[in-house]
A and B are shown apart, each in its own frame.
Chain A
Amino acid sequence: DAKTTQPPSMDCAEGRAANLPCNHSTISGNEYVYWYRQIHSQGPQYIIHGLKNNETNEMASLIITEDRKSSTLILPHATLRDTAVYYCIVRPAGGGNKLTFGTGTQLKVEL
């Protein structure tokens, strides 16, 4: 599986957009980018995934660069409840059950 690199921590003011970057320069053509988050002492929560087109759902938007070597998760109006560790994971679709969680980005949303 392609390796991902994320900054260890980021801060964001409440109400502003939170832009979380992820580098995956060794991504293969059949690999998707998945994002999960984990609020303190809870289980991880699936957010969004994409292959090469930008994706949006009720939680977030995912922007994938044209060369697919990096992506950005956007929380358009961050709230205090978005404070969590955000994980970027690269996996092939139908590639089995093994999600590998790295250390992620600790996002802190402040007043």
Chain B
Amino acid sequence: ETGVTQTPRHLVMGMTNKKSLKCEQHLGHNAMYWYKQSAKKPLELMFVYNFKEQTENNSVPSRFSPECPNSSHLFLHLHTLQPEDSALYLCASSQDPGVNEQFFGPGTRLTVL
């Protein structure tokens, strides 16, 4: 139990669906992240939020839309995804920007049909 929770843990969606992934951290951290991990590939950083402001978008397609309403919650809104977007989506948090000890959630296993 890392103090970072993600829901749902598993998600199957069609290419025309709209869904959202939710992340919540109970650690009082100020920075939150979305990562993508495709099969047999290293983790890829997608987005970074520091004090609720997006500070990094790692060339992520617009069909992925992040939202950070407060320092404890982070969402990833999904629409018109492709089968190649099937992956494990991981959320993480750290105390402050620049702190490299990141705490990860268990991830959401996404399958796009």
Interfacial residues, chain A to chain B (CB-CB below 8 A): 32, 34, 41-46, 49, 89, 91, 93-104
Residue pairs across A and B with Cβ atoms less than 8 A apart, 6 shown, are A41-B107, A42-B107, A43-B91, A44-B92, A93-B98, A104-B42
Q: How far is the CA of A34 from the CA of B101 in the complex (A)?
A: 8
Question: Which chain B positions have C-beta within 8 A of A104?
Answer: 42
Contact indicator B88/A41 (Cβ below 8 Å): yes
Contact indicator A49/B107 (Cβ below 8 Å): no
Interfacial residues, chain B to chain A (CB-CB below 8 A): 2, 4, 31, 33, 42-43, 45, 48, 50, 55-56, 88, 90-92, 94, 97-107, 109
Contact indicator B42/A49 (Cβ below 8 Å): no
Residue in B4, B97, B109 whose CB lies within 8 Å of A97: B97
Q: Indicate the member of A34, A43, A45, A98 with the most B CB atoms within 10 Å.
A: A43
Contact indicator B107/A99 (Cβ below 8 Å): no
Contact indicator A43/B2 (Cβ below 8 Å): yes
Residue in B2, B100, B107 whose CB lies within 8 Å of A45: B2
Question: Which chain A positions have C-beta within 8 A of B97?
Answer: 96-97
Q: Indicate the member of B48, B56, B98, B109 with the most A CB atoms within 10 Å.
A: B98
Residue in A43, A94, A101, A102 whose CB lies within 8 Å of B106: A43
Question: Which chain A positions have C-beta within 8 A of B94?
Answer: 97
Question: Which chain B positions have C-beta within 8 A of A43?
Answer: 2, 4, 90-92, 104-107
Question: Which chain B positions have C-beta within 8 A of A45?
Answer: 2, 104
Residue in B45, B91, B103 whose CB lies within 8 Å of A98: B45
Q: How far is the CA of A43 from the CA of B102 in the complex (A)?
A: 11
Question: Which chain B positions have C-beta within 8 A of A93?
Answer: 98, 100
Q: How far is the CA of A93 from the CA of B97 in the complex (A)?
A: 11
Question: Which chain B positions have C-beta within 8 A of A101?
Answer: 42-43
Residue of A nearest to B41 (CB): A103
Contact indicator A97/B56 (Cβ below 8 Å): yes
Residue in A49, A91, A97, A98 whose CB lies within 8 Å of B50: A97
| CB-CB nearest 3 A-B residue pairs | A43-B104, A94-B98, A101-B43
